[in-house]
Amino acid sequence: MLQRIILSLLLFASGPVPGETVAVIGTGNVGMALGTEFAALDHTVIYGSRNPESEKTKALVEKTRNATAALPAAAAAQADVIVLAVPGMATESVVKTLCDLSGKIIIDPTNPLIVEGDPPTFTYGTDRSLGEIVQEAHPDAFVVKAFNTINWRLMIDPPTPPPVIPLAGDNAEAKEQVAEWVRAMGLDSVDVGGIYHARATEYLILMMLNNSFTGSEKFEVVFQPAD
């Protein structure tokens, strides 16, 4: 007990432990979901928007605890962690506009989807995964493919038992850190291996979307930890 009191006094004396500064690039559904979730975990959120002064971005900043907005490159430059919540087919050009992100964690929820027709059919829009493209653009950053297999609504309001999301990335510590944030958001995760395996997770969402719109027999694919 005495030890706990001394520890609390020491923590009080040194001030609150600061959270990370998280740049959330993109202010659509996924940006809003992950931005508000990171803010709820006491991190400082900077939205990276092409229009930081727009009414839409201002409304999102207002709704997010402890948040600001800036242009994407300025947001990423100030952050320890970058979340890429941008359209899949814009991801490569967006990441190339960001400064040197060496040593930072990049969380990549993007999927390279091209959609055509009614009912919609989806095709894969790149020759390799976006996870790999982002890692190539920032070779000394720690890219973790995450959140790309679940709908944004589940990021905010996960059901019980929580969905298990795959994490792909070449750096084990970065994946462990992301897994911790995922757990704190009420979700679960499995480590599926290196960033090469981002391909499988991106194709998976393509297959599931095509099945949900045009498949004759509906299915869903779930991850679960094995014994």
Considering the rule CB under 6 A, would residue 49 count as an interface residue with ligand NAP? yes
Q: How far apart are CA 32 and CA 35, in angstroms?
A: 5
Q: How far apart are CA 25 and CA 15, in angstroms?
A: 29
Considering the rule CB under 6 A, would residue 131 count as an interface residue with ligand NAP? no
Is the separation of the CB atoms in 89 and 125 below 8 Å? Answer: yes
**Triad 71, 156, 92: Cα angle to 5°:** 40
| In the complex, minimum distance from the CB of residue 72 to ligand NAP, in angstroms, rounded to a whole number | 7
Q: How far apart are CA 89 and CA 12, in angstroms?
A: 47
Q: How far apart are CA 31 and CA 222, in angstroms?
A: 23
* The one among 44, 110, 129, 201 contacting ligand NAP by CB under 6 A: 110
Kindly report the number of other CB atoms within 10 A of residue 166's CB atom: 20
* The one among 19, 41, 58, 87 contacting ligand NAP by CB under 6 A: 87
Alpha helices in the chain (DSSP H): 2-14, 29-40, 55-63, 72-78, 91-96, 130-137, 152-156, 172-184, 198-214
Stretch that binds ligand NAP, among 9-17, 144-152, 167-175, 210-218 (CB under 6 A): 144-152
| In the complex, minimum distance from the CB of residue 116 to ligand NAP, in angstroms, rounded to a whole number | 15
* The one among 19, 21, 28, 188 contacting ligand NAP by CB under 6 A: 28
Stretch that binds ligand NAP, among 1-9, 98-106, 110-118, 209-217 (CB under 6 A): 110-118
Considering the rule CB under 6 A, would residue 152 count as an interface residue with ligand NAP? yes
| In the complex, minimum distance from the CB of residue 42 to ligand NAP, in angstroms, rounded to a whole number | 23
Q: Give Cα separations from 219 to 44, 88, 136, 203 (angstroms).
A: 38, 24, 34, 15
* The one among 20, 39, 46, 57 contacting ligand NAP by CB under 6 A: 57
Considering the rule CB under 6 A, would residue 109 count as an interface residue with ligand NAP? yes
Tokens of 102: 């060496």
Is the separation of the CB atoms in 147 and 107 below 8 Å? Answer: yes
Considering the rule CB under 6 A, would residue 94 count as an interface residue with ligand NAP? yes
Stretch that binds ligand NAP, among 15-23, 107-115, 116-124, 160-168 (CB under 6 A): 107-115
Considering the rule CB under 6 A, would residue 151 count as an interface residue with ligand NAP? yes
Considering the rule CB under 6 A, would residue 59 count as an interface residue with ligand NAP? no
Residues near ligand NAP (CB under 6 A) are 26-31, 49-51, 57, 85-88, 90, 94, 109-111, 113, 147-148, 151-152
